[in-house]
Structures are given as structure tokens and as C-alpha cells.
Amino acid sequence: MLGKIEHLGIAVKDLDKANETYTKLLGRKPYKQEEVASEHVMTSFFMSGENKIELLAATHEDSAISKYIAKRGEGIHHVAFAVENIYEELERLKKEGFTILNAEPKKGADNKLIAFVHPKDSNGVLVELCQEITE
């Protein structure tokens, strides 16, 4: 079973400008900025109450974020759900017929193991599973 919404991912063209906008909007600064080289993204994270927002900007033209913005413009890119055991959940979702975009979970931003479900299988929403890395 999936847990709480861990964060919302928002695709942005210019991370510095978006940081300024979201700092004004939320009334607080990002608590961290982190590059995920394997995904060709630079991210920044904000808390709003108990909720987390991730801004994502492409660092390379091959990034999923560049393609997304070229096709659909800036906006909500993915919804991430916390899971306790990502391997078990991926097996469950595969059996349910969802297309998993990663052969294996991989290390994402903010100390998480992550994997994605194809948006075509979830009503146009890219779903991310994320499990806290504890060791």
C-alpha cells in the first residue's frame, strides 16, 4: 500500500527565479538544494506546514524535465508517495499491470530510493514511489 504524499514535484525553467517565487509564495526559503546528476536535474526543497514541495530544473537537454517543459510547459511534474518497502510495492504494482519505468529503484534527491510509474497508467499523472534511505 502507498503511504502519504511525500512531495509534489514542480518542473521549472529557471531554478533561481522559481526559488524566489516560491520563497515569496510560501513565506520561507528552500531548506536544501541538491543536484541529481543521474536524472540531469537540479532540485530545491521547501516545506509548507507538513508538506514538501520539490522544484526541478533541467541541467541537460536530455533531462526528462527539459522534455516535459518543451511539450507541456512548467507545472506539476509528479506526485511522490512514501512507501515502506519500495521493492514490495513495485512487485505489487507490476502485478496490477502498471508500467514501472525503472528496472531497479535508484538513489534520488533528499536521501530517497525512488522509482516511477508511467503517467499513461495513472490517468496522466507521473507517480513516484520513494523510500527513505536509513543506513
List residues near ligand CMX by CB under 6 A. Answer: 9, 36, 39, 41, 56, 64-65, 67-68, 71-72, 77-78, 101, 108-109, 116, 118-119, 124, 126
| Closest CB to ligand CMX among residues 28, 67 | 67
| Closest CB to ligand CMX among residues 38, 134 | 38
Task: Name the minimum Å distance from CB 59 to ligand CMX.
Answer: 11
Q: Which long-range contacts does 71-75 make (Cβ < 8 Å, 24+ apart)?
A: 74/10, 74/11, 74/12, 74/13, 75/10, 75/11
Phi then psi dihedrals of residue 4, to 5 deg: -65, 160
- Report the C-alpha gap between 89 and 129 in whole angstroms: 8
Task: Name the minimum Å distance from CB 33 to ligand CMX.
Answer: 13
Task: Name the minimum Å distance from CB 79 to ligand CMX.
Answer: 9
Task: Name the minimum Å distance from CB 44 to ligand CMX.
Answer: 12
| Closest CB to ligand CMX among residues 4, 67 | 67
How many residues comprise the chain?
A: 135
- Report the C-alpha gap between 22 and 14 in whole angstroms: 12
